[in-house]
Amino acid sequence: MNRMERMLQIAGLHDGEGVLIHKPSNMFYLSGYTGEGLVAAGNGFQAIITDFRYTEQAERQAPGFQVLMTERGVNHAQLAYRLFKDHGVTHVRYEDDQVTVRSFDRIRQAMPDMDFSSLHNAPETARRIKDQGELDNIEEACNISCRAFDALLPRIKPGLTEKQLQIMLDYTMLDMGADSVAFDTIVASGENGSLPHAIPSARVIQTGDMITFDFGAKKNGYCADMTRTVAVGQPSPEMKKIYETVLRAQEVCESVLAPGKKCSDIDKLARDIIDGAGYAGRFGHGLGHAVGIDIHEEPRLSQACGDILEPGHTITVEPGIYVPGLGGVRIENTCAITEHGARTLVHAQKALLIL
């Protein structure tokens, strides 16, 4: 069964039903196509609907797909309607979390006699279980990220700014084979470390700072996600204690990852360690998330996620402690759930590195 067939099976698609896929990551997953437009499909047919700029690209990237081109007076939705009519479709399932109100109005105008209902994230459900090729891509993205970080470490010096370190790390990832960065690199030094999603600034690195780097390469359409916090010179005893607490939470939680484990239970394990060390309320985000074509996918290691881990899931383990006015620490690995446990795809040192 190919990806499209599996997705349609998850969607429970009946005869007479068709699907519209607008989310770029879902289009890429199902077809390999990375351009603009949409995918229309059903049992026994699949097409990419796009404009002149992308038709040749679509034919190259998605050989099993019919490619339909818009022209003056015939928009994407009208082409999809013709395709659906040719295949006896009377009911369209669409991504109600992606299509805007305006775009949905256009679709309804083009298909006045169709019924519509939600696709209920069937593509995202299919994407939860990564196949070997996907895992290989994520691992390669992680390897590039780790090698780039290794190359950066000896270059981290007092006097550089966060922004300079970000540029050096991003450049190195690209130079080492990344297609792009998976998300905007975070570099947070000193007291900026208390901002979980700090934007690299003109702040100058000083001796005694801890610096958090949260970053990842993207390779063949797949993301890596890792975080390391390093010290430049001797950090304060308080920051050392914070570091050791985060490290313990990270290692304990990573070691218990396995099929059958409940996501919220693993999050609680980290929260109990951090709260027990006196930092209750200073770990204000979830413990982790799946990684794939998108940087944040399902399932999540969070208090709210009752999902059960399965082989083929990826998951990050990224506890942190954030203390305004003082700083913060986060340590993150991307892991893959296997038949009997899990393995980390990130091999950079986790013990405190004092540069």
Smallest gap from Cβ 330 to Mn ion, in A, equals: 9
Min dist. Cβ of residue 288 to Mn ion (A) = 7
Beta carbon nearer to Mn ion, 209 or 297: 297
Q: Which of 159, 94, 158 is nearest to 123 (CA)?
A: 94
Residue among 95 and 225 whose Cβ is closer to Mn ion: 225
CB-wise, 122 or 224, nearer to Mn ion? 224
* Least CB distance to Mn ion at residue 53 (A): 33
- The helix (run of H) or strand (run of E) holding residue 187 is strand 186-189
Nearer to Mn ion, 31 or 316 (CB): 316
Taking the complex as a whole, the smallest distance from the CB of residue 216 to Mn ion amounts, in Å, to: 8
For residue 224, the minimal CB distance to Mn ion (Å) is 10
> Amino acid identity of 70?
T
Minimum distance between the CB of residue 124 and Mn ion, rounded to whole angstroms?
17
Beta strand spans in 272-326 (E): 288-290, 297-301, 314-317, 320-323
Whichever of 17 and 225 has its CB closer to Mn ion, that residue is 225
Helix axes 24-31, 3-11, angle to 10 degrees: 120
Q: How far is the CB of 344 from Mn ion (least distance, A)?
A: 14
Residues 6+ apart with CB under 8 A from 164: none
What does the alpha-carbon distance between residue 97 and residue 298 come to, in Å, rounded to a whole number? 15
In the bound state with Mn ion, the residue whose beta carbon lies nearer, of 51 and 307, is: 307
User: Which residues sit at the interface with Mn ion, rule CB under 5 A?
Assistant: 225, 316
Point out which residues pair with 215 in neighbouring strands: 226
Point out the residue whose Cβ comes nearest to Mn ion: 225
Q: How far apart are the C-alpha atoms of 258 and 342, rounded to whole Å?
A: 6
Nearest to 254 by CA among 328, 341, 125, 322: 341
Q: Is 21:95 a contact under the CB 8 Å cutoff? A: yes
Please, which residue, 17 or 294, has the CB nearer to Mn ion?
294
User: What DSSP string describes 316-336?
Assistant: EE--EEEETTTEEEE-BEEEE
Rounded distance, CA 323 to CA 188, Å? 13
